[in-house]
Amino acid sequence: MMDSMNGWHGQLYRVDLSGHSFKREDIPHYVLERYLGGRGLGAKYLKDEVHPSTDPFDKGNKIIYATGPITGTSIPTSGRFSVTSKSPLTGTIFDCNAGGTFGPALKSCGIDAVILEGKAPEPLFLKITPDAVEFHDAVDAWGKTIPGTTRYLKEHHGKKVKVSCIGPAGENRVMFANIMNDYHHALGRGGLGAIMGSKQLKAIMVDAGERDQRKQAGVADPDMLKVVIKEINKRINASPVTGKGMRLFGTAQLVNLINSMGLFPIRNFQSATDPRADNLSGETIREEIMVSKTACYACSIACGRMTRTSTGREGKGPEYESDWALGADCGIFDLEAVTEANYDCNEMGLDTISCGATIACAMELNQDGRLPDEWSEIRFGNANALQEAIHKIVSKTGIGADLAMGSRRLASKFGAPGVAMQVKGLEIPAYDPRGAFGMALAYATSNRGACHLRAYTVGAELLGLPKMFNRFSFSDKPDLVVTLQNMNAFFDSLVACKFTGMGVPDDYYARALSAVLGSEVSVTDAEIIGERVYNLERHYNAMIGFTREDDTLPPRFSEPLVEGPSAGKIPPLALMLDMYYGIRNWDVHGIPTTEKLKELGISAGEI
């Protein structure tokens, strides 16, 4: 077996759910050096082990939990972990990462990853310890909510266990079901919870043992790491976004800014500004429903918000995206209604973005007279219908069976595919691309479908981070998007929170990784690692059958907004795509060339 090394343990657990067995395997050192961990490690194993034609719900699909070389250290925001699989919503390779405390606990078991294979014959839990993987019957817990499942496991296996689980939405294979951990943290897009449900895996709990029994990966230069951490924290504290705005108002600090600039999507992207937006803002949340701030492991930003509605119900959020998707996108500006709907999604295990956007899609279909009478309550502005729709989605009863498919399948069923605001099947988040041309290109070229986190150009186009770009320019956006996509792939493989990038230059995390590993990692090295991850994902998607035709936006965005600060603007997507492919050294169909794959050390597969 490989001995522990700096940053990594060099081992994983491979778990056969069908046969209730596991084995410990070495991870080749060259794989760790090339892909780091998290997203990169998950992509490498999925590409090598899951055939591109595999149906996401087939037992041949795999779920890969992975930590990174900085997970569990004292580096700011280093508590994250990643999960990778093939998405039922998009059909693409898909990864999510989450904060909380689950990731550091998993790393403390002396492993860097867990690969879940097969399908359990009956519902089960896994218990991961430094020495073994245990299999436990989950029949009595099947049907429990996220909090109910977490409490059940802590009651039966000890309060110190960390829990990653699915709710009823995952059990019922809702296409946008989440995996949740630590009660409130979401691996929240693409339906990875539905994959767990298809494998009859209710939860994974981690018991790393007492502090002196835990297995920590080494740090090569602790003194240098302390210096770098001090500098990182200085910059987090000095940033007006991470040091002030998020601490005061959480992620929903963005509501008023995005609305004032004319790219806050209203009523399924039919407009992009509304005077009622302040009802959902971080300032209003702080004033009316906030109870306390929350932070993830090793994080001083504390962007999370514990809240309480007038009914006495408490929970976490809503965050900016949830606030928008369940609110403004549905034409609803009732903060309490949105908050209660957000609680429901978190407890049942639903992606709030896809959930709200799919309901908004249904509202527009209803507005256009395309839905039967039983859908009459699903209309813009009707807050009373929101929670009922969510519960029907979870149970897949009545209209919920159609909503549970996601917006692309829903709109196609009712004859209006253009009403679905999605890319590659993933619903577009809370930034209208007509108001920020970089986001148009970022959405279109994201490997997992419409995603703001693959290349958050809003930072540069609206916030001036790290410098200001004209949001309506286009010739400079392909370079910006490529750079951000590569660096974000690096961050997702460390695994670190992208919010730090709003205050901390990239080279500080390269220096932190250097101190952990004991070998120099430059910003150029970091970008090459990210580029390798991004190209491997793109190559795998190409083997599935994705091409340039999938790098597109809904037809709505070829029509200009008629009012607000972004009125009259249309992103020149085709032109930006040509430039983007050229920078990437992909062919005209958007497929990585043999030369590019060889340059990055990626083995080519049949396409």
> Would the pLDDT of 606 be above 80?
no
13's tokens: 């657990």
252's tokens: 């929903």
> What separation in angstroms does the CA of 203 have from each of 128, 404, 495?
11, 22, 22
Confidence bin at 160 (pLDDT 50/70/90): very high
Distance CA 535, CA 225 (A): 31
Per-residue confidence (pLDDT) for residue 215, from 0 to 100: 85
Residues 602-607 have a mean pLDDT of: 68
CA-based nearest residue to 509, from 529, 526, 486, 532: 526
Position of tokens 């958007």? 590
Q: Where in the chain is the domain with CATH 3.60.9.10?
A: 11-213
Give the SS3 label for residue 231.
helix
Q: Read out DSSP for 339-362?
A: HHHHHHHHHHTB-HHHHHHHHHHH
Distance CA 5, CA 13 (A): 17
Q: Where in the chain is the domain with CATH 1.10.599.10?
A: 433-600
CB of 505 closer than 8 Å to CB of 489: no
Q: Does the predicted TM-score (pTM) go above 0.85?
A: yes
Distance CA 46, CA 40 (A): 10
Helix axes 506-517, 477-494, angle to 10 degrees: 30
Query: Which amino acid, one-letter code, is at 171?
Result: E
Using the 8-state DSSP alphabet, how is residue 243 labeled? Answer: I
Name residues whose C-beta falls within 8 Å of residue 230's C-beta, 6 or more positions apart in sequence.
Answer: none
The domain made up of 433-600 is a member of CATH 1.10.599.10: yes
CB of 432 closer than 8 Å to CB of 269: yes
The domain made up of 11-213 is a member of CATH 3.60.9.10: yes
Confidence bin at 3 (pLDDT 50/70/90): very low
Question: Which helix (H) or strand (E) is 443 found in, with range?
Answer: helix 437-445
Query: Which amino acid, one-letter code, is at 12?
Result: L
Per-residue confidence (pLDDT) for residue 213, from 0 to 100: 67
Residues 219-223 have a mean pLDDT of: 96
Distance CA 374, CA 586 (A): 48
Fold exhibited by the domain 258-420: 1.10.569
Distance CA 192, CA 195 (A): 5
Residues 298-322 have a mean pLDDT of: 96
Distance CA 122, CA 20 (A): 11
CB of 186 closer than 8 Å to CB of 354: no
Distance CA 422, CA 136 (A): 39
Question: Which helix (H) or strand (E) is 23 found in, with range?
Answer: strand 21-26
Hey, which residues does 592 pair with through a beta bridge?
586
CA-based nearest residue to 320, from 284, 366, 360: 284
pLDDT per residue over 12-48, tens digit each? 999 999 999 999 999 999 999 999 999 999 999 999 9
Hey, which residues does 308 pair with through a beta bridge?
314
**Exposed / middle / buried, residue 363 (Cβ in 10 Å: 0-12, 13-18, 19+):** buried
Hey, which residues does 135 pair with through a beta bridge?
126
Position of tokens 């496991």? 153
Per-residue confidence (pLDDT) for residue 326, from 0 to 100: 98
Task: State the pairing for strand pair 113-117/11-16.
Answer: parallel
Buried b (16+ CB within 10 A) or exposed e, 415-450: eebebbbbbbbbbbbbbbbbbbbbbbbbbbbbbbbb
Among left, alpha and beta (phi > 0; psi -120 to 50; other), residue 295 is: beta
Per-residue confidence (pLDDT) for residue 605, from 0 to 100: 63
Q: Which runs of E-coded beta strand occur in 67-123?
A: 81-86, 93-98, 113-117
> What separation in angstroms does the CA of 529 have from each of 6, 95, 497, 512?
18, 17, 17, 16
Q: Rg for the chain (alpha carbons), in Å?
A: 22
> Would the pLDDT of 291 be above 50?
yes
Per-residue confidence (pLDDT) for residue 603, from 0 to 100: 86
> Would the pLDDT of 1 be above 60?
no
As a residue count, the chain comes to 607
592's tokens: 């990585």
Confidence bin at 212 (pLDDT 50/70/90): low
Per-residue confidence (pLDDT) for residue 463, from 0 to 100: 92
Per-residue confidence (pLDDT) for residue 407, from 0 to 100: 98
Confidence bin at 607 (pLDDT 50/70/90): very low
Hey, which residues does 218 pair with through a beta bridge?
6
Distance CA 249, CA 532 (A): 36
Hey, which residues does 98 pair with through a beta bridge?
81
> Would the pLDDT of 211 be above 80?
no
CA-based nearest residue to 531, from 486, 574, 575, 568: 486
Percent helix, strand, coil in the chain, to 5, is 45, 15, 40
Percentage of the chain modeled with pLDDT above 90:
96
The runs of H, that is alpha helices, within 27-108 are 29-35, 38-49, 102-107
